Structure 1
Amino acid sequence: MDARTWMKELDKGTVRPLYICYGPEKYRMREFIDYVFRKCVPDDLREFAVTKYDLSETSLDDVLEDALTMPFMAERKVILASNAAFLTGAKESTKVEHRPERLLDYMKSPADFSVVILTVDADKLDERKKIVKLLKDNGSMAPFVPLSADDLLQWVKRQADAFSFRLGTGAAEALLLSAGTDLQALRSELEKLSLYAGSGGTVSVEDVDGMVARTTEQDVFMLIDHIVRLRKEKAMTVFHELLLKKEEPIKIAALMTRQFRMLLQVKELERQGYSQQQMASQLGGHPYGIKIASEQGKRFSFEQLASILASLADLDYGMKTGRVEKTLGMELFILKLAV
């Protein structure tokens, strides 16, 4: 099961008695939970019809007892219980005892006036457990994972539409290069851009470059993108901006090494037939970052990437031992690559 299917069901008026949410993408999880609230409980009754529990402090028995109690003033209530660690393989650190089998008993005859949402702070659940297998089979659980590269671009554009402005050609891609792939950070930047553009306005690539604050990691990501696209003037500009931010050339070189290593790993996994989503899981990156790494890596052969990594290792050694002047060494390295 996946969250999109759940949301389509909710749009059609189908509400499940139990939703179990887990996975690394917490922003999407919060979006879904808010969607359940909106679909199931009128805004003016939210205070009476939404109850929140922490399962590290409250037993599952108490949560289910609440689910069997009629709602006050509302036709339906929503119960949100976080930290359902008993569904994972991790050893529970809480003294609260849970009886997971009670959840299966409840699902045999759930209250039609209650919606129970359990959240799990884990990327995976323990599918060796009988309860996890059964709840998975009946569609009660879904992972919240990072959006694919294409879905992330569409998400950015939908958010811009929601803020009543549009992103010009290349602006969505420029935003992702500058702000990264964290959905909460992206939404904040989109809100800021909406205030700049005004209702019905358009944001260009230049607007994004001028208004979106980049982290050091994103600066280095963009630096390498300029190098790959042979834009040496822009690459040098980004490097000097990093120096103005008091970033050490040794740190910049280390971040460049990490990114070029990613290019080499992606190229190798592509050769083995991995999809971008599979590579993201294997390398611990975001699918959009994998997509960009794949595009960047097309300019280089395996041998060239290995040579670049070796050169970065030599540069790092030279800077740390004082044999190479740090700023000049980095400048020469960038100019050598961007030709």
Structure 2
Amino acid sequence: MINIENLENEIKKGVIDNSYIFCGLDEQLIKEGIELIKSKVVEPGFEDLNYIKLDGSTTTFDEIMNACETIPFMGEKKVVLVYRANFLKDKTDSTDKKTYGEMSTYLKDMPSYTVLIMYYLFNDKRETPKKNRKLITLGKNCKIVHSEKLKKDKYYKKVEEVFKNQGKEIGKNELRYFSEKVQNNFDIIKREVDKLINYTYGREIQKNDIDKLIPNKSEDDIFDLVDFIAQKKIENAIDLMDELLFKADQHMLIIVSIENHFKRLYEVKVLMLNGKKLDQIVSYLKLHPYVCEKTMAQCNRFSIKQLQQLMKICLETERKIKSSSIDKQTEMELMLFKTFMVNK
């Protein structure tokens, strides 16, 4: 298994494998890694003939095999890309399991003139290649490329390039502040840069502009946790809760943050049910439009009754931890399990 930086070094040395599987959270970085391979393998001007793209969510094994078996036109090699190949995910339905089994066998005897590239995106930041049994198996016959977070200096430089490509300069201190505050995902970074540029049109970017538009990472974690509760993803929620407690051993702070998030959802839900639109809710609750839009989308996962019960569970847990010497970690995990029992 290698990362994008290792891949770049291999390609510079002219080392190209017969097949690759990319995985990670950042689709933009994955696409850039794929472009490195494609530009080295496919002759300029022959992309339409020797670069075949298939949608991994709908394609079949026969379509992939036929694309791989077709001899390249006016060139030594061709590239077949299967994007968003969800049959590579660890847990799939019977159809995807069948496709995975057929691909596992086919990768052992690929035609030498084809470079097959497949990729899939992780569901969340706690997923890793080592947890995926399929990747471990396929790694025996295929190069696995994990699109990891970039190291700090390289990350800052790449974020700066996003601003420059949009024709906007940003100061070094503001660049670092933005880079540390935004989620480390270049699909998201490009959207946030675009918002920031539009917001500061005609003037320099200041730190308070970044604060207004970009939520704190701790707020993002709480948002993700509530999303896991809504989707009843118990393991993901417990993993994230453990991560939050590891980063900041402040049980009361985390409970209050979760409770406040449910309160905000409740307020927004009531306004939505009373026919209020985005701009009206923004004005009433003094929220940033982007934050309000995300909150409204999450509201759709809950009913009013559900949110009332969830707030009550948080309050009960808060009182128990304040008034007794019970194990705080156990009590918070119990709180999570109670939230999963709440139905619409």
TM range (shorter): 0.5 to 0.7
Q: What CA RMSD, in Å, does the superposition of the two structures yield over aligned residues?
A: 4.9
Task: Classify 1:71/1:307 alpha carbon distance in 2 versus 1 (closer, same or farther; 3 Å).
Answer: closer
* Structure 1 counterpart of 2:109, one-letter code: Y
Tell me what 1:229 maps to: none
Amino acid at match of 1:283: L
> Structure 2: where are the runs of 5+ without partners?
226-237, 267-283, 286-344
One-letter code of the match for 1:14? V
Contact in 2 for aligned 1:179/1:213 (Cα 8 Å): no
The residue type paired with residue 120 of structure 2 is V
Question: Contact 2:3–2:148 at 8 Å: present in 1 too?
Answer: no
Identical aligned pairs, as a percentage? 19
Determine if contact 1:50/1:77 at 8 Å carries over to the other structure.
yes
Q: Select between 188-197 and 83-92 the one with higher mean Cα deviation.
A: 188-197
* Structure 1 equivalent of residue 119 of structure 2: 119
Q: Which residue of 1 aligns with 2:29?
A: 28
1:13 partner amino acid: G
Report if aligned partners of 1:165, 1:197 keep a CA contact under 8 Å in 2: no
* Equivalent of residue 283 in structure 1, options 200, 216, 240: 240
Shift in Å, 1:77: 1.6
The verdict on how the C-alpha distance between 1:179 and 1:74 changes in structure 2, with shifts beyond 3 A counting, is same
**Cα offset for 1:149?**
5.6
Q: 1:308 to 1:86 in 2, by over 3 A?
A: closer
8 Å CA contact 2:21, 2:142 repeated in 1: no
Deviation at residue 13 of structure 1 after TM alignment: 2.3
Deviation at 1:22, TM superposition (A): 1.8
Cα drift, residue 24 of structure 1? 2.2
Aligned ranges 1:263-282 → 2 under 5 Å: 282=239
Q: CA deviation at 1:20?
A: 0.6
What is the aligned partner in structure 1 of residue 213 from structure 2? 214
* Residues 178 and 213 in structure 1, CA contact (< 8 A), matched pair in contact too: no
TM-score normalized by the length of structure 2: 0.53
| Amino acid across the alignment from 1:8 | N
Q: Decide whether aligned partners of structure 1 residues 95 and 115 sit closer, same or farther in structure 2, where only a CA change above 3 A counts.
A: closer
Per-residue CA distance 1:270-328 (angstroms, 9 max, x = gap): xxxxxxxxxxx953899xxx9xx96xx6xxxx6xx5565687799899999xxxxx99x
Report SS of the residue matched to 1:80: strand
2:178 to 168, 175, 179: 175
Deviation at residue 161 of structure 1 after TM alignment? 5.7
Q: 1:23 touches 1:120 (CA, 8 Å); kept in 2?
A: yes
Tell me the TM-score normalised to structure 1 length. 0.53
- Structure 2: how far apart are the matches of 1:284 and 1:34? 37
- Residue deviations 1:70-113, cap 9 Å, x none? 11234432101134444443232548943134324324xx42x3
Tell me, in whole angstroms, the C-alpha distance in 2 between the residues paired with 1:197 and 1:96: 49
C-alpha distance in structure 2 between counterparts of 1:79 and 1:22, whole Å? 17
Q: Is the 8 A contact 2:196 2:213 kept in 1?
A: no
Aligned residue-pair number? 245
Q: CA deviation at 1:157?
A: 3.0
Q: Deviations over 1:147-171 (max 9, x none)?
A: 4666533431344466676532311
Q: 1:62 to 1:163 in 2, by over 3 A?
A: same
With over 3 angstroms needed to count, the CA separation of the structure-2 counterparts of 1:173 and 1:63, relative to structure 1, is: same
Secondary structure of 2:82's partner? Answer: strand
- Aligned in 2, Cα 1:308/1:188: closer, same or farther, shift over 3 Å? closer
Q: Secondary structure at the match of 1:58?
A: coil
In structure 1, what residue type is equivalent to 2:119?
T
In 2, the alpha carbon distance for the partners of 1:147 and 1:121 equals 17
Superposed displacement of residue 205, structure 1: 4.8
On the 8 A contact 1:56/1:96 being kept in 2, the answer is no
- Supply the distance in 1 between the matched residues of 2:263 and 2:168 (Cα, whole angstroms): 49
**Which residue is equivalent to 1:63?**
64
List aligned pairs for 1:124-273, cutoff 5 A.
124=128, 128=133, 132-137=135-140, 140-147=143-150, 151-160=154-163, 167-176=170-179, 179-190=182-193, 205-206=205-206, 209-210=208-209, 214=213, 218=215, 221=216, 258=222
Query: Offset of 1:53 from its aligned partner?
Result: 1.8
Residue 143 (structure 1) shift: 2.2
- Alpha-carbon distance in structure 2 between the residues aligned to 1:316 and 1:192: 24
Letter in 2 for 1:141: I
Q: Tell me the CA shift for residue 45 of structure 1.
A: 2.0
Distance 1:35 1:190, change over 3 A: farther
What secondary structure does 2:74 align onto? coil
Instruction: Judge conservation of contact 1:25–1:144 (CA < 8 Å) in 2.
Output: yes
1:106 aligns with 2:63: no
SS in 1 for 2:21: strand
SS of the aligned residue for 1:30 comes to helix
The SS at the match of 1:170 is: helix
